Amino acid sequence: MASSMVVPVIDVQNDNFKELWPAMVLAIKTSAFIALDTELSGLGNRKALLAESIEDRYKAIYHAARSRSILSLGIACYKKLDNKPADSYLVQVYNLTLLCSEEYMIEPQSVRFLVQHGFDFNKQYAQGVPYCKGNNKGGADNHGVSVRSLFTELLRARRPLVLHNGLIDMAFLYQCFYSHLPDRLTTFTADLSEMFPAGIYDTKYASEFELRLTASYLEYAYKKCKLDNSRGVEAGGPGPHLLVEFCQYSGQMSSYVDYRVCRAVAPSPGQQEICQRFSAFGWCPHGTQCTSSHDTDLIILQDEKLRQDKKSKRKRKRDKKKGGGGGAAEEEEEEELRESKISHMELDSADRPTQDGSIRDPGACTEPPPAEHAGNGPRKRLEGGTHRAGFDAFMTAYIFAYACTLDAKEEQDGKEKKAEEKDRVLPSCHNKVYLSGKAAPLHIVKSSFSKSSKAHSLKMELVWGKSLASTLLAAGIQQEKDGE
Nearest to 432 by CA among 483, 392, 470: 483
pLDDT, greater one: 370 or 98: 98
Q: Which of 313-317, 399-403, 478-482 has the highest mean pLDDT?
A: 399-403
Residue 114 confidence (pLDDT) above 70: yes
Range 123-159 burial, b when 16+ CB lie within 10 A, else e = ebeebbbebbbeebeeebbeeebbbbbbbbbbbbbeb
What pLDDT does 163 receive? 98
- Asked if residue 356 lies in contact with residue 366, where contact means CB atoms within 8 angstroms, the answer is no
Which pLDDT band, with edges at 50, 70 and 90, does 254 fall under?
Answer: very high
Query: Tens digits of per-residue pLDDT, 409-430?
Result: 876 665 665 655 556 789 999 9
- Mean pLDDT is lowest, of 79-88, 113-122, 389-398, for 113-122
Which pLDDT band, with edges at 50, 70 and 90, does 449 fall under?
Answer: confident
Q: DSSP label at 158?
A: T
Q: Which percentage of the chain shows pLDDT scores above 90?
A: 53
CA distance 385 to 107: 19
Taking the domains of the chain in order of start, what are their residue ranges?
5-265+352-483, 276-349
What pLDDT does 419 receive? 55
CA distance 244 to 80: 9
Residue 9 confidence (pLDDT) above 90: yes
pLDDT, greater one: 148 or 464: 148
Query: Tens digits of per-residue pLDDT, 465-482?
Result: 766 656 655 555 555 455
Average pLDDT, the chain: 83
- Asked if residue 67 lies in contact with residue 175, where contact means CB atoms within 8 angstroms, the answer is no
- Asked if residue 141 lies in contact with residue 115, where contact means CB atoms within 8 angstroms, the answer is no
Residue 358 confidence (pLDDT) above 60: no
Q: Which of 78-87, 266-275, 377-386 has the highest mean pLDDT?
A: 78-87
Furthest C-alpha separation in the chain: 75
CA distance 195 to 174: 10
Residue 356 confidence (pLDDT) above 70: no
Scanning 353-387, the segments in alpha helix (DSSP H) are none
- Asked if residue 446 lies in contact with residue 190, where contact means CB atoms within 8 angstroms, the answer is yes
Which pLDDT band, with edges at 50, 70 and 90, does 237 fall under?
Answer: confident
Fold of 5-265+352-483: Nucleotidyltransferase; domain 5 (3.30.420)
What pLDDT does 359 receive? 44
Q: DSSP label at 33?
A: E
Residue 317 confidence (pLDDT) above 70: yes
Q: Which percentage of the chain shows pLDDT scores above 70?
A: 77
